[in-house]
Chain A
Amino acid sequence: MSWVDFSGHAYLVAFILYCVAFIFYVITIAGQKWSNRNSKHHVARWGRMSFIVSSAGLAAHLTFFFTRWYGSGQIPTSNMYEFMSFLAMAVMLAFTIIYVIYRKPLLGMFATPLAVLIVAYASVFPKDVQPLIPSLDSYWLKIHVTTAALGEAFFAVGFAAGLMYLLRIVDYTRKDNQARKQQRWIEYTLYVIVVVVGFISIVFSFRGAGYEAHFTQENISIDTQGQTIIRTEQVEYNLPPIFKPYNSHADSVDSFLGLEKLQIETPSWMKGVNAGRKLNTVVWSIVAGSLLYAILRLIVRKPLGAVIRPHMEGVNPNDLDEISYRAIAIGFPVFTLGALIFAMIWANEAWGRFWGWDPKEVWALITWLFYSVYLHFRLSRGWQGLRSAWLSVIGFVIVWFTLIGVNLIIAGMHSYAGV
């Protein structure tokens, strides 16, 4: 068995341990109200066990990381699978650091499912080791990507705590406009999370069924001398095509519910690598996620937020507010260093300019500006609690757009990171 294969097994172990840790954290918090026990004692005991399991998961994840590094001879942060699994690891690392400071097991209840989702999301992408192209072959790859991801992981923990704060504070018994607005937005946030779950399940279902569709796409571009260049490309779909690639024809399409006859063309302004396939995947995710959400709502017969809310009783909202803020305050310098300063140093080495207004660079700057606005609101304008929590949620949306959205919609220097 090669090191890379071994690392794959370690990854699976980490995934399972994270799932178990999630269940344990839920028992830690929800079990407080069980009749046959002293709540303080219960939290101490189960909290410790949960933390041991999640730390074991992190250890397995680290094993994955270093064995894959050793086996492939290059740091595993150079394609989407490797980057996402590293991000999940960074989230667990950030969670562990915050946990050591605050000793609040309830944070685990939200950080572990986040890690589980990202780990599963990573597995959607091709797992093979891809040799580096020359511009990536630099030690700055290691430094820039890891620190940027660690900064983003702290923002993720800040988001988890912020979302918990919102779930804790928003009153589902109130029916006035203000309260309804809050409830709607929380429900929408939860819906988006369900869509991500939908995406992962749909990809794995069709992959399990071995679904395939092939297209030949003609890409027309105009080079610097004004000459037209036509490149043909083979595009493989693993989900039934609702949207086919722009300017393409089908070579072979497995049939699924007659969708092979539908095939709407992807708009030409979507520029990313394999934009058609990505758009198709997004549409599928929304369909599957909405379906999943509808089923959940049919089962529980009330908003998902209202289902979670009672379990948050007994959690001190001020603690959550503080943790959310601290995670962001710790992450901000790390993000500045990794996503801006190291990125600029590397860009200066590789491309001869430290800043070129490349979309990815601009979005990293936007993320940075947004979190600096968050800090100014909080420190100078006294925005705390509810407003601060919403900012942490919005901030995380911007982080994800920077990581995924830019590669999906906008092509740029970083387009090779997308798959």
Chain B
Amino acid sequence: MIQNTKCECGHQNPPDTLLCESCGKPQTEIPENAPLEMRYDGMARRSQKRNPNPLDMVWNFFSSVKIAIIIIIITLIGAAIGTIYPQGNTAEYYKQTYGWGGELYYKLGLSTMYDSWWFVGLLVMIGTSLVICSLDRVLPLYRALSKQQIRKHPMFITRQKTVYTGPIEGNAEQWVQELAGHLRRRRYRVHTDGTALLAEKNRFSRWGPYINHIGLIVLLLALLARTIPDWKLEETIAVRDGETVQVPNTNYYVKNEQFTVEYYDQDELPDRLKNQERPKLYKTEAVLYECVESCGEPGIEPVLEPVIDYDITVNHPLAYKGVKLYQIGYDDQPMLKAVKPVIEDKQSGQVYGPFELPMKNPQTEFTVGPYSLSLKAQYMEFALNDEGDPVTLSRDPKAPAFIFIVKGPGIDASGEPYMYFPLQKDKERFSQDQINRTLASKIEIRVDGMENVSYSAYTSYLLIRVDRALTYVWIGLGICMLGLLMGAYWHHRRIWLRVDDGVLSLGAHTNKNHFGMRSDVAWALAQMKIDVEKEKLDNGGYNS
């Protein structure tokens, strides 16, 4: 079927145009007395194409605002379900803490639902809908607004939401020019064509929603980009006082020079919180090093060069070339850092030493007086497994143990093994003297006095982050916000009028805030000595 789409003004419109692109005359049957449907200025949209092919059908699906709303509502409900129980724990945790409900939650995959295919799929669908909805509307709207006819069809004018008709006195053209002057004072752009007038302001606000959508698309793309390897890194490291640790997956090392915590004084706290230790500030005095030589070669000390000094506190991360180190917590359990033991010759009572024995990365050979010690094995948290073999339970020096091969006076020339527990409690627990047997009667390695023991008081937990998509996230959000502001706080207003045989027909349209539109029209008419109540200008229909 071929539809005749030529308007009576002579303009050839595309099929499914609601209002003539030129004069604005309605092209379809419309209900009596109802204001015109002015969305996108009555232009035909691509999604209204007849005989759609499969691609058109996909386009049509995503171009529907109704579909967009449904997708948003599903996303909203999905997101809410994900907050029922905490995310990202083990199956065991859900079962123990929440019973069968937790078990079900885990089995349905809701414990990691924000990364699930269906949730990400919903976000992708929102993104697609944003692109297609916007394109489907912004292009016809742009065309309509960039070529506007000044003299509109009377039916177009009198069926706007804000209308006025009435007689005027004097020369019509002069009257129109005078009104144009008043409207210009209200910052309207006015175009006249004899006895017809078009006044317009804040057209840019029409682009607000589309700019907002562009921002959201950039944001969603940035979020997707975070799945690219190397774009995102997230690791937590524990650094003890005075320790240097490699920043995982980078060429950097971080040293914790000193970690400090300040607490609020008791007189700073209200009664209810008295006697609580409420931290005020905690910080890591950190130095970031870059490895310049022998990086990652086993057995060789890497050569480090300091690049930046910074006091890392909560809310103030260390940032260097896209790598950020955040203070996320601390542990105040003291841990053994180093001891300075001595060696006593049990026969003569002679004491040799002391010598420095750090818990982390000690040297392997020591010479103390006549004795020489070579380190054969080291355990950070010593324990015996089910078979009775020595193992270490963790990398923290909670129960350190050292096995030395000792040579010296009165000892077998090939050396004898000596097991040394720096902590008294471990020495008793694992019965050091019985392990060492005869050697225990010849020598003793021990620490004299607390001044020869050094502890590190705190472990500082640092979060390492690399997030290359972050810049784009901020750009997307910025664009989104700009669009929102444009669209929400400015309103596109247009006034059309024509005078035919001494009778004025005026119609006005705005996409938002009809109150303001009405006041503008009432004000302009009042300037021309036509007093009309604002409410009387209202032609009924929707407010938007």
Interface residues of A (CB under 8 A from B): 101-102, 126, 128-131, 133-135, 137-138, 140, 222, 268-269, 271, 316, 318, 321-322, 325-326, 329-330, 332-333, 336-337, 340-341, 344-345, 348-354, 357, 359, 362-363, 365-366, 369-370, 372-373, 376-382, 384, 406, 410-412
Contacts and interface: CB of A to CB of B under 8 A. Distances in A.
Nearest to B488: A333
Contacts of A410: 83-84
Contact of A373 (B69, B485, B535, B544): B69
B76 interface: yes
B328 A329 contact: no
Interface in B427-468: 463, 465, 467
Interface string B509-539: 0011111000000000000000000010010
Interface stretch (B11-19, B170-178, B313-321, B363-371): B313-321
Given A131-B264, A321-B543, A336 B481 contact: yes
Given A134-B315, A348-B470, A363-B83, A318 B270 contact: no
Nearest to B115: A357
A333 B463 contact: no
B477 A344 contact: yes
A326 B513 contact: yes
B314 A128 contact: no
15 contacts: A128-B270, A131-B269, A135-B315, A137-B314, A222-B93, A322-B543, A325-B543, A330-B488, A333-B484, A333-B485, A352-B328, A369-B76, A380-B39, A382-B544, A410-B83
A135 B72 contact: no
Nearest to A369: B76
B114 A352 contact: no
Contacts of B544: 325, 378-379, 382, 384
Contact of B465 (A129, A322, A353, A377): A353
A368 to B, nearest CB: 9
A354 B326 contact: no
Given A333-B481, A333-B489, A373-B72, A381 B65 contact: yes
List 4 tightest A-B contacts by C-beta distance, closest first.
A128-B270, A352-B326, A380-B65, A333-B484
B54 interface: no
B515 A102 contact: yes
Given A131-B278, A384-B544, 5 more contacts: A140-B315, A333-B488, A365-B79, A376-B72, A378-B544
Contacts of A322: 514-515, 543
Interface string B300-317: 000000000000011111
B386 interface: no
B402 to A, nearest CB: 25
Contacts of B542: 382, 384
A365 B268 CA distance: 36
Contacts of B55: none
Interface string B474-499: 10010011001100110000000000
A138 B313 CA distance: 11
A318 B161 CA distance: 13
B490 to A, nearest CB: 12
Contact of B79 (A340, A362, A372, A378): A362
Contacts of B66: 381
A313 B54 CA distance: 54
A372 B538 CA distance: 28
A350 B315 contact: yes
B502 interface: no
Instruction: Say what secondary structure dominates the interface of chain A.
Output: helix
Interface residues of B, number: 65
Given A134-B280, A134-B315, A377 B69 contact: yes
Contact of A135 (B39, B264, B314, B538): B314
Contacts of A372: 72
Interface of B: 39, 65-66, 68-69, 72-73, 75-76, 79-80, 82-84, 86-87, 93, 97-98, 101, 114, 234, 264, 268-273, 278-282, 313-317, 324, 326, 328, 463, 465, 467, 470, 473-474, 477, 480-481, 484-485, 488-489, 511-515, 535, 538, 542-544
A362 B84 CA distance: 11
Contacts of B98: 269
A373 B73 contact: yes
Contacts of B514: 322
B317 A354 contact: no
B481 A341 contact: yes
Contacts of A340: 477
Nearest to B68: A376
A137 B542 CA distance: 48
Contacts of A369: 72-73, 75-76, 79
A72 to B, nearest CB: 10
A322 B73 CA distance: 24
Contacts of B80: 362-363, 366
Contacts of A341: 477, 481
Contacts of B317: 349, 352
B315 A137 contact: yes
Contacts of A271: 86
B104 to A, nearest CB: 13
A349 B328 CA distance: 11
A341 B481 CA distance: 9
A236 B324 CA distance: 42
Given A133-B278, A352-B324, A352-B328, A329 B79 contact: no
A345 B317 CA distance: 13
A126 B272 CA distance: 9
B321 to A, nearest CB: 16
B481 A134 contact: no
Nearest to B263: A131
Nearest to A368: B76
A354 B234 CA distance: 13
B313 A134 contact: yes
A337 B481 contact: yes
Contacts of A126: 272
Nearest to B487: A333
Contacts of A380: 39, 65
Contacts of A102: 515
Nearest to B87: A357
A376 B65 contact: yes
B476 to A, nearest CB: 10
Contacts of B328: 351-352
Contacts of A269: 97-98, 101
B315 A138 contact: yes
B470 A354 contact: yes
A4 to B, nearest CB: 10
A333 B488 CA distance: 7
Given A130-B273, A365-B79, A352 B465 contact: yes
